Amino acid sequence: MDDPELGAEEHVAALRGLARLNWFSGVSRQMYRRLRQIALASPRPLRVLDIATGSGDLPIDWLLRSRLEGIPLEVTGVDVSSQAIATARARAAVAGCSSSGEGWTADWWVANALEDCLPDDFDVVTCSLFLHHLEDEDIVRLLRAMRDATEAGGLVRRLLICDLVRSRWNLAAVSVASRLLSRSPIVHGDAALSVRAALTRGEFAELAEVALGMAVPVSSLFPCRFISEIDLR
């Protein structure tokens, strides 16, 4: 999916397949549960930045859940791919997630989180299924960029990170799930490559400590991922 030569139709099909895998894993619900707790303690609508947002399926789902519960949430999704951002905008429009107004908004930018200067006034910065695309030194750079994006975020200042865990079981499980839930050969190939390139929980914890200068909590997230909520206050 990272191939710049990938055709638009194949890219959109791969994004749909990835969204199905996210839905099947329940990761959106698990991440939203943590965002909800943070939002309930915030005196204003929680401002969330989602790095490498892809088709925007996770932040759109968070907005729909928060709107049902009456919990204000404002989400910005960024991705280096203009095709991904176009897909996210289209999905958001269908879901009724506006880019203007107050309380429940979605905004989408083409941006490279490792290279571009991002605003620094977000309360929470999230990232799902991106770290395994990066080398260790770039993971450290990304975590620091995510931290910097909360510099003016007030009293909240959290990072919420979720990714695959490298293991033989996860390699088998993700490979099977990708074939059951998507017809995209890009998704089938990327599934195995992603698990092989993923970190263990311990490896992520070590890199995060190097990047942020603090020990971070890392929990298992069934069926194949880890999740880390990092309080920067």
Mean pLDDT, the chain, whole residue set = 89
Q: Looking at residue 103, what is its pLDDT?
A: 73
Band the pLDDT of 90: cuts 50, 70, 90.
Answer: very high
Q: What is the arithmetic mean of pLDDT over 51-75?
A: 95
3-state SS, 51-101, equals ECCCCCHHHHHHHHHHHHHCCCEEEEEEECCHHHHHHHHHHHHHHCCECCC
Quote the tokens at residue 65.
Answer: 């859940």
Residue 223: cis peptide before it, omega within 30 degrees of 0: yes
Is pLDDT above 70 for 5? no
Nearest to 229 by CA among 127, 154, 161, 147: 161
Q: Looking at residue 127, what is its pLDDT?
A: 98
**Higher per-residue confidence, 97 vs 159:** 159
Summarize pLDDT for 101-150 with one digit per residue, the tens.
667 899 999 999 999 999 999 999 999 999 999 999 999 999 999 999 99
Q: Looking at residue 26, what is its pLDDT?
A: 85
| Domains assigned to the chain | 8-164+199-231 (3.40.50.150)
Q: Report the first-to-last Cα separation within the chain, whole angstroms.
A: 35
Which has the minimum average pLDDT: 56-65, 90-99, 133-142? 90-99
Summarize pLDDT for 158-181 with one digit per residue, the tens.
999 999 999 999 889 888 878 877
Q: What is the pTM of this model?
A: 0.89
Q: 164 — phi, psi (to 5°)?
A: -70, 155
Is pLDDT above 80 for 18? no
Quote the tokens at residue 159.
Answer: 């990072």
- With a pLDDT cut of 70, the percent of the chain lying above it is 89
- With a pLDDT cut of 90, the percent of the chain lying above it is 68
Summarize pLDDT for 177-213 with one digit per residue, the tens.
788 778 787 766 777 888 899 999 999 999 999 999 9
Is pLDDT above 70 for 22? no
